[in-house]
Chains A and B, each alone.
Chain A
């Protein structure tokens, strides 16, 4: 099971490149795709889900080019888009029935699967209620269920935790972790904690370019010895922000606790254990610095 993304680029009208020379090799596990808004994550997801076609480069599923046979991937694809709709007059059962038919699932197999999925996402009690009356979180759970209908080998989830409350978010992360054993899961998000909890690999994307691709441990190693924290008076905060790359601030009774990313330790600062958020911010700022013309 292998997904190869080879020098993929996507150009929209007006010569706007959303993605450029993007290459990645994926095997079973969870890839956390992290990047700021407008980085090109959703464009990449759409290309991988065969919704849109790359302007350049190619995507290969088990060696088969999507341009030649997109159905080779579609048969084993589960896709949860960032924005999707439902037919408001149908109930959850009927909607999943319909999508199972569209995906070509055998009726009996589909019935059993839908039953299990409704249990899994806990919509069994409301399976007969029209989707038009569902809350955002419930609708998102229908989306999760439809993505798992065909027991996908490649599961692409774009901002899956949007609309879910914190508790649901944690549960969904656990679900992804359990599902990832024999399949490739691509989790696109800008919420670092979602990725931190589940990803076996992380790809950082910015400005349509792949900034970094590594295991979380490797990314954390790259910022070891670069994270510092100290307490400053509120009045000095502005100056600190000017001088350093600030990762976070927290106001406490003794002043403002400032966490910064820097090679040289500030006076009085304590070294801190890096988090993935530190690694993410560091990689992005290095990328931005590299992109600024000399």
Chain B
């Protein structure tokens, strides 16, 4: 009973801490936006050329799938960070001094994450009702049919994602930017695992498939397929959840899920998996021990106390000597003269700050990618090596625009002369230099081949990436948003060369240098305005 009360207060405090932040309103706004896009038909669940009549069953299923599929990606990035926050606010140290076990704390964090995601599912539930009413194809509300997909598809998926966020935070390798990138691939892997279990099977799917898919789509697809085959025996088992593509012309009536014991058990299994993952996270959790925490730069921190004491004693002796001798002679007065901007010295400093701390193998891979761009066949360079070269520095770009906030150096940097007009452009230029350096090999090849159009596209791409990083960093105040956004953009746009989203600009069929040049300017303007708003004086 006492444990339940403690758990309740931990989860409640965690939940309130998040929902009272402005960023939570943005999160809800995003959820509403997804709901709206679904409502107006920009996000469509299709079975070949069919879609269902917008009755409670279809609307509920659509909202359940959309929530389960999209929120499981975005939601992860939203909830990840609650343990880090406890560490940064030092609340964690207070909690660590209580008898609370690691597994208990992890369970509380998991439930806290889940509560936030569940509140977003709640928003989608309201959107589902609005959607059915506004479409008006069938205004009779069947609450069970409408809400059961959200309850059985979305909520278990959210429980699992909530636990993954906890696990990611406790594992040193995954808690930073690498983890944010890795999650995207884990998410897409999990999604394809589930969808793969149902696609390609024309008959009833195996029981195992229910347990393989965390979004719950196989369950849904199987029953929709069965209903559609009765209407159109020639249906070819095609499912898609598409954004802004052609709307199907045919409709069919689907009356909703019939849940059997196995299917419900399969969905609840994902909640159990979530609990297991949260408990697994307890194994890796450092319990706010500064010697084991990531922030303490582990090895160095371990060596610090003993050495630190010696240094403090030496400092005291040194200071005593200095105070006898006087301080003034130690400092040479600086000449006062006309101010010089020394902009490029600052760019060099920003560049050093950006690449500082990278291991030798990072540079080796970067050099390999440069050489690869230059040496590979031109077509391979365009479609493959450059794409890799512009993913490799992702974690270098991610702190742009938010480094000062993250490390609390704002008051030092912003009190400097011309902080806005010097430091922000210098940081951007350093980011551009990284992009141009890693992908520079291809520029040489393009110049040699005389492909001016692709060369321009390449240069625009190299400017676009740091502009996106800078704007995302300034406005979000952290690096997570850029890490998630860029990874998805890179995967969809650059890797698959999707026209309109391919920022690399070197593949003729998908390059849109004019669009990305405009976007770059817009992003730079946004970054400028965001930083301007943070400064008392420009």
Contacts and interface: CB of A to CB of B under 8 A. Distances in A.
Interface of A: 46, 49-53, 66-67, 70-71, 74-77, 79, 81, 83-90, 94, 97-99, 101-107, 109, 112-113, 116-117, 119-120, 122, 125-126, 129-130, 132-135, 137-138, 141, 146, 148, 150-151, 165, 167-168, 170-171, 174-175, 178-179, 181
B356 A75 contact: no
Nearest to B349: A101
A264 to B, nearest CB: 44
Contacts of B348: 101
Contacts of B345: 101, 107
B319 A168 contact: yes
B296 interface: yes
The 9 lowest CB-CB distance pairs between A and B, nearest first, are: A85-B408, A171-B319, A101-B349, A70-B537, A151-B334, A133-B300, A132-B297, A89-B357, A53-B536
Nearest to A136: B308
B331 to A, nearest CB: 5
Interface stretch (B2-10, B136-144, B322-330): B322-330
A49 B537 CA distance: 11
Contact of B300 (A79, A129, A165): A129
A32 B472 CA distance: 42
Nearest to B305: A135
B333 interface: yes
A133 B303 contact: yes
Most chain A Cβ neighbours within 10 Å, of B301, B323, B415, B423: B415
B416 A103 contact: yes
Interface stretch (B219-227, B273-281, B335-343): B335-343
A106 B335 CA distance: 11
Contact of B311 (A51, A107, A125): A125
A50 B415 contact: yes
Given A77-B415, A122-B319, A138 B311 contact: yes
Nearest to B301: A133
A151 B356 contact: no
Contact of B297 (A88, A94, A109): A88
Contacts of A52: 536
B456 interface: no
Most chain A Cβ neighbours within 10 Å, of B312, B341, B348, B417: B417
B412 interface: yes
Contact of B407 (A49, A85, A116, A175): A85
A181 B320 CA distance: 21
Given A104-B340, A116-B331, A50 B537 contact: yes
A148 B295 CA distance: 28
Contacts of A135: 304, 308, 312
Nearest to A158: B411
B314 interface: yes
Given A51-B411, A170-B323, 5 more contacts: A74-B415, A74-B417, A99-B413, A179-B327, A181-B328
A116 B330 contact: yes
B429 to A, nearest CB: 13
B409 interface: yes
Contacts of B327: 120, 174-175, 178-179
B359 to A, nearest CB: 12
B349 A98 contact: yes
B352 interface: yes
B308 A50 contact: no
B166 to A, nearest CB: 24
B312 A85 contact: no
8 contacts: A50-B536, A89-B297, A104-B417, A113-B334, A120-B331, A133-B304, A148-B331, A168-B319
B346 interface: yes
